[in-house]
């Protein structure tokens, strides 16, 4: 498409933007014409979930795709974001009474009630801090050990969430245990309440959809600019050859920690937004499966390539939300039951036959086919 | 102790594979789970074993053990063939990702085969008392687990230390290229290692099915992670270390869940095990018995 426009006399700079702009326009108008499409197309509500997963996948892509650190506990960041949103916009802490720009909550209602627009960055920052806390002790480990440690954290977090209604026997109710925290306050502006919607045009689903789209665009923009920044180039250098990167003066620990914090930030924002959308957060939402699910999106789409990751995320999230059930009905099998088996097959087949993913970045593809020198650069004992 | 023995069998599988390929075989826990399923099916449906039944059932239990070991060994070796061998030489993360994929595939095979509920097994092992110390009684079913585990472990040590094949395994673990130059068939040695590791997982699966008396499709992954922790605790790649680590983890779990004082209880078992894993990896990545190597791990 780019070449075609260039031949028509459009400057290359503009022509390169044509495809993303077209995609954004279609996405923007999607809720308006989805009613006229086949019923197999995802509904606006499904599309919101898809957008949230795309955000998480773009976030994870920074850790896995750019910096080459396998993170199997991304769900911990997602959980952290979701619980942050839940704590500060519900009646979870009944002894407090704090209201800040909340929407549709009576001023007598106890608990923290902070506007979601403040909570999204707050959730991101808190999650990034958690990411750094996890990262600092563990990032010096080799890739496969790092994977297993992140997996450990991914298992510990939901357990804290599940047992957090009586934290260590002190009676302090942090997470309301297996019952989860619900309902959450609605996002909104002034009198515009997202959960209720307004009129026939601004329905609740459409409001959530457009907001999610804006968040996703911000995420993509950050991710894209970061990749070409000094930090992003340092990540890619580390991914390709730690020894050479260190020799060139890239501070390994600091750069990796930044990758972790950035990835965690977006995971946290996505988690907080998802929790507000569902108006609930339950510990059962944060299984290891979700980490693998998001990882699967990144790998299927193409590690390191934003567009690939988005396509992968859209595809898998759609399958997860509606596609598998539809497909199963069509073939008369219980497809959702075997969802993760299917994802397992996807992981296996992609890694074996096209490790660079559906839409690879040319650089990553070369690494997979020509091999990289990814032995650890440093001696653990004499750092 | 008893749980520790089962962990030990699974942990050895992780250690063997890690020692030779430096790969965390995520699918190993699920191979173990399949072992449990296979033995449960054989014991209850083919051999019709049940509570009681006298001495005649012991040969059948041993036969089940043998079949489970062979089956799991073959499964594990085929996994290596399909998912890991083509990726030798690819970036380190590639086989790790296929391992996770494989793990999910095995889980779903079990799900398709046995459904989402627990497969229960009758108390085939007698629960009568062997001896007791104070209030604590030690029963036959526990003793059986130990009685099966110990000979298997001795056999393994003999195999690795004394036989020609064991020597080939150790050589490949140290340096695959050099081993190949010395005329060792590296591919076959790796396959053989996976076969042995799978066999151990099969034995563990049988013991788990008979001792805990129920198996479900998603139990392998959890137990696998705990066993992996045990392997890391003892020093990964180190056989006695894996056994030591497994016994320690088994004891920690028993104390945590069994004692009423100062123990957080079974709700937190996983958190405790993973905290141990993280602490070990951060402060002593070579494990309790591991050697200090230049990479530190």
pLDDT at B258: 65
**Chain A contact set for B104 (CB, 8 A):** 292, 340-341, 343-344, 347
pLDDT at A111: 76
Q: What token pair was written down for B57?
A: 């059932």
Test B23 with A144 for CB contact under 8 angstroms: yes
Give pLDDT tens digits for B175-219: 888 888 888 888 888 899 899 999 999 988 888 888 887 888 878
- Measure A106 CA to nearest chain B CA, in Å: 37
CATH number, domain of B12, equals: 1.10.3470
Interchain CB contacts (distance < 8 Å): A and B? 145
Query: Within a domain: residue B289?
Result: no
**Is residue A315 within 8 Å of A367, Cβ to Cβ?**
no
**Chain A contact set for B79 (CB, 8 A):** none
Which residue bears the tokens 């549709």? Answer: A104
**Chain B contact set for A144 (CB, 8 A):** 22-24, 92-93, 96
Every domain of chain A and the residues it spans? 42-287
Candidate from B102, B270, B295 with C-beta closest to A142:
B295
- Measure B108 CA to nearest chain A CA, in Å: 5
**A1-15, A200-214, B21-35: which has the minimum mean pLDDT?**
A1-15
For residue B26, give the chain A residue with the closest CA: A148
Give pLDDT tens digits for B229-264: 888 888 777 788 888 888 888 888 887 776 555 555
Candidate from B93, B112, B278 with C-beta closest to A70:
B93
For residue B222, give the chain A residue with the closest CA: A155
Candidate from A292, A342, A372 with C-beta closest to B91:
A372
Give this prediction's pTM. 0.83
Whole-number Å distance between alpha carbons of B175 and B50: 49
Task: Give chain B's domain count.
Answer: 1
**What Å distances lie between residue A222 and A229, A230, A266, A309, B185, CA to CA?**
10, 13, 10, 15, 50
**Chain B contact set for A163 (CB, 8 A):** 267-268
Q: What token pair was written down for A23?
A: 């995609």
Contacts with B216 (C-beta within 8 Å, 6 or more apart), sequence order: B116, B117, B118, B119
Whole-number Å distance between alpha carbons of B136 and B48: 32
**Chain A contact set for B105 (CB, 8 A):** 341, 344-345, 348
**A84-93, A330-339, B152-161: which has the minimum mean pLDDT?**
A330-339
Give pLDDT tens digits for A61-80: 999 888 888 888 889 898 99
Query: Within a domain: residue B292?
Result: no
pLDDT at B296: 38
Query: Within a domain: residue B294?
Result: no
**Chain A contact set for B277 (CB, 8 A):** 148-149, 152
- Measure B9 CA to nearest chain A CA, in Å: 20
ipTM for the whole predicted complex goes beyond 0.85: no
Report the SS3 class of residue A254: helix
A354: left (phi over 0), alpha (psi -120 to 50) or beta: beta
Query: Within a domain: residue B50?
Result: yes
**Chain A contact set for B296 (CB, 8 A):** 379-381
Does residue A267 register a pLDDT over 90?
yes
Whole-number Å distance between alpha carbons of B226 and B248: 11
Q: Phi, psi (5° rounding) for residue A188? A: 165, 180
* Residue of A236, A296, A303, A347 to mutate for B, most B C-beta atoms under 10 A: A347
Average pLDDT for chain B: 81
């Amino acid at each position: 498409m780019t070449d075609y426009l260039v031949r028509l006399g459009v400057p290359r700079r503009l022509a390169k933007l044509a495809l993303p702009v077209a995609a954004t326009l279609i996405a923007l108008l999607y809720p308006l014409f989805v009613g006229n499409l086949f019923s197999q197309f995802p509904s606006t509500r499904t599309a919101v979930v898809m957008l949230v997963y795309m955000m998480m996948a773009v976030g994870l892509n920074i850790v896995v795709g750019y910096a080459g650190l396998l993170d199997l506990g991304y769900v911990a960041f997602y959980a952290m974001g979701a619980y942050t949103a839940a704590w500060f916009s519900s009646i979870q802490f009944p002894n407090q009474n704090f209201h800040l720009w909340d929407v549709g909550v009576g001023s007598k209602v106890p608990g923290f009630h902070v506007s979601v627009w403040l909570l999204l960055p707050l959730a991101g920052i808190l999650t990034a801090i958690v990411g750094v806390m996890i990262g600092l002790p563990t990032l010096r480990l080799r890739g496969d050990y790092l994977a297993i440690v992140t997996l450990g954290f991914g298992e510990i977090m939901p357990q804290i969430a599940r047992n957090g209604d009586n934290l260590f026997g002190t009676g302090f109710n942090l997470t309301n245990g297996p019952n989860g925290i619900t309902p959450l306050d609605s996002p909104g502006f002034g009198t515009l309440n997202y959960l209720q919607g307004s009129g026939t045009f601004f329905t609740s689903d459409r409001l959530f959809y457009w907001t999610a789209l804006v968040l996703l665009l911000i995420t993509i923009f950050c991710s894209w600019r970061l990749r070409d920044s000094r930090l992003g180039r340092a990540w890619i250098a580390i991914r390709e050859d730690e020894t050479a990167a260190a020799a060139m003066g890239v501070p390994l620990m600091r750069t990796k920690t930044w990758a972790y914090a950035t990835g965690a930030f977006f995971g946290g924002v996505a988690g907080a937004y998802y929790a507000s959308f569902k108006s609930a957060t339950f510990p059962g939402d944060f299984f290891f499966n979700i980490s693998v699910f998001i990882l699967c999106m990144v790998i299927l789409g193409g590690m390191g390539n934003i567009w690939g990751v988005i396509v992968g995320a859209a595809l898998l999230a759609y399958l997860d939300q509606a596609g598998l059930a539809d497909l199963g009905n069509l073939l008369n099998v219980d497809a959702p039951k075997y969802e993760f088996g299917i994802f397992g097959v996807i992981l296996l087949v992609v890694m074996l036959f096209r490790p660079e993913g559906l839409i690879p970045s040319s650089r990553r593809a070369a690494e997979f086919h020509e091999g990289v020198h990814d032995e650890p650069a440093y001696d653990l004992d004499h750092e | 102790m008893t749980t520790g023995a089962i962990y030990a069998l699974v942990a050895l599988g992780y250690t063997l594979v890690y020692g030779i390929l430096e790969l965390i075989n995520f699918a190993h826990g699920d191979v173990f789970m399949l072992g449990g399923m296979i033995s449960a099916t054989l014991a209850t449906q083919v051999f019709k074993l049940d509570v009681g039944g006298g001495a005649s059932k012991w040969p059948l239990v041993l036969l089940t053990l043998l079949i489970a070991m062979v089956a799991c060994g073959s499964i594990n070796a085929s996994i290596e063939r399909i998912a890991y061998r083509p990726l030798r030489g690819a970036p380190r993360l590639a086989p790790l990702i296929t391992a996770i994929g494989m793990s999910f595939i095995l889980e779903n095979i079990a799900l398709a085969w046995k459904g989402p509920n627990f497969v229960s097994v009758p108390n085939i092992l007698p629960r009568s008392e062997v001896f007791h110390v104070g209030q604590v009684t030690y029963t036959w079913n526990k003793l059986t687990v130990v009685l099966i585990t110990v000979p298997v472990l001795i056999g393994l040590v003999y195999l690795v230390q004394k036989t020609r094949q064991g020597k080939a395994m150790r050589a490949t673990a140290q340096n695959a290229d050099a081993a190949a130059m010395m005329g060792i068939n590296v591919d076959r040695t790796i396959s053989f290692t996976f076969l042995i590791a799978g066999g151990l997982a099969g034995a563990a699966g049988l013991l788990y099915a008979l001792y805990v008396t129920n198996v479900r499709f998603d139990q392998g992954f959890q137990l696998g992670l705990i066993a992996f922790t045990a392997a890391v605790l003892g020093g990964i790649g180190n056989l006695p270390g894996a056994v030591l680590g497994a016994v320690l983890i088994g004891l920690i779990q028993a104390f945590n869940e069994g004692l009423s004082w100062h123990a957080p209880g079974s709700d937190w078992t996983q958190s405790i095990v993973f905290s141990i894993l993280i602490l070990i990896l951060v402060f002593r990545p070579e494990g309790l018995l591991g050697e200090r190597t230049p990479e530190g791990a």
